[in-house]
């Protein structure tokens, strides 16, 4: 029973990396400690391909546009060479045609390059937007479909960082990086071919310089890759810390954690900064090194070319064109570094996204769902059977040792026991938040694992202590129980549990926005809204896990009076630490260390000599 509580992975300040500044991790060796979850080999590439596959035609079209645009851009120096060596001499000989043609051609190429660039930008932006939309949608859908045990360990901050900074990294690659790459590769190929065609010797010098350039690039890629992975993890960690602090702003205030948090945040920020600095340093080295190579090649070509012009084995126009091309050849080297940057960031980010998308729900939807049998009679309740069930959370030991339990349809069962006894765990198995490690949970004879989501929610609804409200109006929050409910039905549900009065007193009544000024409602009132929501859902089995714990005693009394009607005919599991709840129960289960140690009607247990009799006596005395 000493397994760390659920909140621990989320509560540790830096769950994503392990280095000297990180406190010891709660689950040593847990893959969730790392920002990159394990994914099958090739998952990242497969993800990218699956994103681009639906727009293969559009990707091909944009690539073609880019090819044409590059051709138009690269035609310039060739026209200059032609002008110097052919058109100008012809012009001197009073043949004006060639020079005019060259001028017109140059203008045309420039116009075409501009127009093509324009169309390309629009077309590629559309493709990128669709890819990113698709990816964000996938992350959201997938994360939402994953089971609770995933979310307990992964934390919302990391999910936010996946769908913001990591998607953004891919956006940069797609919108700028890929265009750069294609442009750079195309101009390399085109210009090398041109240089070789203009003059084999000069061309060979240029091509020979590609070897050292390539080596430099590989070196940079390897080194910067490390820096970028560290940076992307650092960003994620900063976001996680941020989200966690703001989510827990109340305890932060209450315990004056601000300066401690600030110090931790500064450490994280510094780590981010350092990773950034490392990446920049690598880039500076790469750019400097490759410029050195490039300028050496240019110097060799100019010197050798000039000597050859002097001895007449090379035309001046060709040398001019070669030098113009050379400038363009080495120009994109810096841009290639930019591309490599965005490539590295995007690769690191995509790997994380692929790892997330490779997670499978531990509580999967059935492939061939079954329906619940038709109910016999008017009453809404259904029978529940725990058949040889045993359970332990993934991160700890066994919580519930093997047990059997049958709840007949319509029975109201109170579950009592000390904190940590396993009451909520039992309830969560019944609501199928988790699947048992062994055995089955049956609802009217059907395994919960065979029920499709909607059918399961009509079967079992659980109201917990948290009573979460979504942004929107009070009425909308109640209607989550049954989205097609009319206003009248919503109000009837609210009246049944005694929430109508306080809701009517809100500034806009049922239309009050729960997140806006004046719409703020107390914890107890939130629980009443959550109650009304569950009641409206009209489930066969209703589980109340400390669902009245935020109510004051009169409030709880009022809910209890209402509960008699609400629970009538329904199968109900009521977990409460105030024993007053037990009065409405048909049956009481006492849990201790994951086991049901007492089971009987309240009267029987009170009359007996067990734990419940002791508890009840103590409670009676406290009332007196």
Ligand X SMILES: Nc1ncnc2c1ncn2[C@@H]1O[C@H](COP(=O)(O)OP(=O)(O)O)[C@@H](O)[C@H]1O
Residue with tokens 């140690």: 597
Piece of 25-33, 97-105, 291-299, 423-431 that binds ligand X (CB under 6 A):
423-431
Residue 425 contact among ligand X, Mg ion, none, beta carbon within 5 to 8 Å by kind? ligand X
Q: Which residues contact 130 (CB under 8 A, 6 or more apart)?
A: 55
Q: Yes or no: say if 308 and 298 are a contact pair by the CB < 8 Å rule.
A: no
Tell me 391's DSSP state: E
**Residue 399 touches which of ligand X, Mg ion, none (Cβ within 5-8 Å per kind):** ligand X
Smallest distance, ligand X to C-beta of residue 543, A: 12
Give the residue with the Cβ less far from ligand X, 27 or 265.
Answer: 27
Alpha-carbon distance of 229 to 349, in angstroms, equals 8
Of 5 and 54, which CB lies nearer to Mg ion in the complex structure? Answer: 5
Select the residue interacting with ligand X from 147, 187, 395, 571 (CB under 6 A).
395
Contact criterion met (CB below 8 Å) for 538 and 493: no
Does the footprint of Mg ion cover residue 548 (CB under 5 A)? no
Size of the site for ligand X (CB under 6 A): 17
Residue 74 or 395: which CB sits closer to ligand X? Answer: 395
Kindly tell me which residue out of 3, 18, 55, 132 binds ligand X, with binding defined by CB under 6 A. Answer: 3
Residue 422 structure tokens: 């396993």
Q: Does 424 bind Mg ion (CB under 5 A)?
A: yes
Chosen from ligand X, Mg ion, none, partner binding at 5 (C-beta under 5 to 8 Å by type): ligand X
Residue 598 engages ligand X in binding (rule: CB under 6 A): no
Q: Is 96 exposed, middle or buried (0-12, 13-18, 19+ CB in 10 A)?
A: exposed
> From CA 511, how far away is CA 334, in angstroms rounded?
58
Note whether 6 binds ligand X by CB under 6 A: yes
364 binds, among ligand X, Mg ion, none (CB under 5 to 8 A by kind): none
Among 98, 201, 396, 408, binds ligand X (CB under 6 A): 396
Binding flag, residue 422, ligand X (CB under 6 A): yes
Q: Which is nearer to ligand X, 294 or 576 (CB)?
A: 576
Say how far apart CA 568 and CA 561 lie, in whole Å. Answer: 12
CB of 620 to ligand X, least distance (A): 23
> Nearer to ligand X by C-beta: 418 or 565?
418
Which DSSP string do the residues of 112-159 spell out, in sequence order?
A: HHHHHHHHHHHHHHHHHHHHHHHHHHHHHHHHHHS-HHHHHHH-HHHH
DSSP string, 432-484: TSS--SEEEEEETTEEGGGB-HHHHHHHEEEE-SS----SSBHHHHHHTT-TT
Q: Give me the least distance between CB of 578 and ligand X, in Å please.
A: 14
Count, residues near Mg ion per rule CB under 5 A: 1
Beta strand 446-447 with 438-443 is antiparallel
The entry of Mg ion, ligand X, none near residue 396 (CB within 5 to 8 angstroms by kind) is ligand X
The residue of the chain with the least Cβ separation from Mg ion equals 424
Q: Which of residues 352-371 bind ligand X (CB under 6 A)?
A: none
**Residue closer to Mg ion, measured from CB, 424 or 477:** 424
Separation in Å, CA 13 to CA 210, 231, 259, 520: 47, 17, 14, 30
Q: How is residue 446 written in tokens?
A: 């059907």
* CB closer to Mg ion, 279 vs 460: 460
For the bound state, the minimum distance from the C-beta of residue 397 to Mg ion, rounded and expressed in Å, comes to 18
The distance of closest approach from Cβ of residue 542 to Mg ion in the complex, given in angstroms and rounded to an integer, is: 16
Whether the CB-CB separation of 115 and 72 falls below 8 Å is answered with no
The interface region with ligand X, picked from 189-197, 275-283, 395-403, 514-522 by CB under 6 A, is: 395-403
Q: Which is nearer to Mg ion, 474 or 544 (CB)?
A: 544
Other Cβ atoms within 10 Å of 612 Cβ, number? 25
* Residue list 133-152, contact with ligand X (CB under 6 A): 152
Q: Give the nearer residue to ligand X in terms of CB position, either 98 or 396.
A: 396
Q: Select from 113, 399, 429, 503 the one that contacts ligand X (CB under 6 A).
A: 399
Among positions 150-169, residues that touch ligand X (CB under 6 A) are 152
**Nearest-approach distance from CB 153 to ligand X, in angstroms:** 9
Nearer to Mg ion by C-beta: 345 or 424?
424
Q: At what angle do helices 332-357 and 97-145 cross, to 10 degrees?
A: 20
CA–CA dist 387, 389 (Å, integer) = 5
HEC string of 201-233?
Answer: HHHHHHHHCHHHHHHHHHHHHHHHHHHHHHHHH
114 binds, among ligand X, Mg ion, none (CB under 5 to 8 A by kind): none
Q: For residue 103, give both structure tokens.
A: 């001028």
- Report the nearest approach of ligand X to the CB of residue 1 (Å): 5
Q: Is 420 in the site for ligand X (CB under 6 A)?
A: yes
Asked if 446 touches ligand X (CB under 6 A), the answer is no
Q: Measured between alpha carbons, how far is residue 492 from residues 253, 463, 486, 571 in Å?
A: 39, 18, 10, 21
**Which residues are near ligand X by CB under 6 A?**
1, 3, 5-6, 152, 393, 395-396, 399, 417, 419-425
**Which residues are near Mg ion by CB under 5 A?**
424
């Amino acid at each position: 029973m000493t397994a760390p509580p659920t909140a621990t992975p989320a509560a540790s300040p830096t769950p994503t990396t392990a280095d000297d500044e990180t406190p010891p991790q709660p689950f040593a060796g847990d893959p969730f400690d790392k920002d990159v979850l394990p994914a099958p080999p090739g998952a990242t590439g497969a993800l990218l391909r699956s994103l681009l596959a639906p727009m293969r035609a559009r990707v091909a079209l944009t690539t073609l546009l880019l090819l044409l645009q590059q051709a138009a851009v690269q035609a310039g120096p060739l026209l200059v060479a032609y002008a110097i060596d052919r058109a100008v001499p012809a012009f001197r000989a009073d043949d004006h045609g060639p020079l005019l043609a060259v001028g017109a051609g140059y203008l045309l190429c420039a116009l075409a390059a501009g127009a093509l660039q324009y169309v390309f930008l629009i077309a590629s932006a559309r493709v990128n937007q669709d890819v990113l939309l698709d990816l964000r949608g996938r992350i959201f859908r997938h994360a939402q479909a994953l089971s609770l045990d995933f979310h307990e360990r992964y934390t919302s901050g990391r999910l936010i960082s996946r769908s913001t900074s990591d998607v953004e990294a891919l956006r940069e690659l797609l919108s700028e990086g890929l265009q750069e790459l294609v442009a750079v590769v195309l101009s390399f190929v085109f210009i090398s071919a041109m240089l070789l065609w203009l003059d084999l010797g000069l061309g060979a010098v240029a091509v020979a310089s590609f070897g050292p350039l390539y080596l430099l690039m590989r070196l940079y890629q390897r080194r910067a890759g490390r820096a970028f992975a560290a940076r992307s993890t650092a960003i994620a960690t900063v976001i996680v810390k941020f989200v966690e602090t703001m989510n827990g702003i109340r305890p932060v205030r209450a315990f004056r954690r601000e300066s401690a948090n600030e110090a931790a945040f500064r450490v994280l920020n510094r780590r981010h900064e350092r990773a950034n600095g490392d990446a920049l340093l690598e880039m500076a080295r790469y750019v400097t090194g490759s410029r050195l190579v490039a300028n050496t090649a240019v110097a060799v070509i100019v010197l050798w070319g000039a000597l050859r012009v002097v001895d007449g084995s090379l035309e001046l126009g060709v040398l001019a064109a070669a030098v113009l091309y050379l400038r363009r050849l080495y120009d994109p080297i810096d841009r290639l570094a930019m591309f490599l940057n965005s490539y590295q960031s995007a690769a690191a980010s995509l790997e994380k996204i692929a790892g997330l998308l490779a997670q499978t729900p531990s509580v999967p939807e059935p492939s061939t769902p079954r329906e619940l049998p038709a109910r016999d009679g008017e009453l809404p309740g259904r029978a529940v059977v725990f058949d040889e069930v045993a359970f332990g959370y993934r991160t700890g030991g066994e919580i519930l040792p093997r047990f059997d339990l049958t709840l007949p349809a319509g029975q109201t069962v109170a579950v009592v026991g000390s904190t940590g006894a396993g009451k909520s765990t039992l309830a969560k198995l019944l609501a199928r938040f988790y699947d048992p490690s062994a055995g089955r949970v049956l609802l009217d004879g059907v395994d919960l694992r065979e029920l499709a989501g909607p059918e399961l929610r009509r079967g079992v609804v659980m109201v917990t202590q948290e009573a979460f409200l979504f942004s929107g109006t009070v009425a909308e929050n109640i209607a989550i129980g049954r989205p097609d409910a009319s206003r009248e039905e919503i109000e009837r549900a609210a009246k049944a549990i005694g929430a109508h009065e306080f809701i009517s007193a809100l500034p806009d009544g049922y239309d009050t926005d729960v997140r806006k000024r004046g719409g703020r409602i107390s914890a107890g009132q939130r629980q009443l809204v959550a109650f009304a929501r569950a009641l409206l859902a009209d489930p066969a089995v209703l589980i109340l896990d400390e669902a009245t714990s935020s109510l004051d005693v009169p409030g709880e009394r009022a809910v209890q009076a209402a509960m008699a009607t609400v629970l009538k005919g329904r199968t109900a599991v009521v977990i409460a630490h105030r024993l007053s709840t037990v009065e409405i129960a048909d049956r009481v289960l006492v849990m201790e260390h994951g086991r049901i140690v007492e089971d009987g009607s309240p009267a029987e247990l009170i009359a007996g000599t067990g734990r419940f009799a002791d508890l009840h006596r103590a409670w009676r005395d406290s009332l007196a």
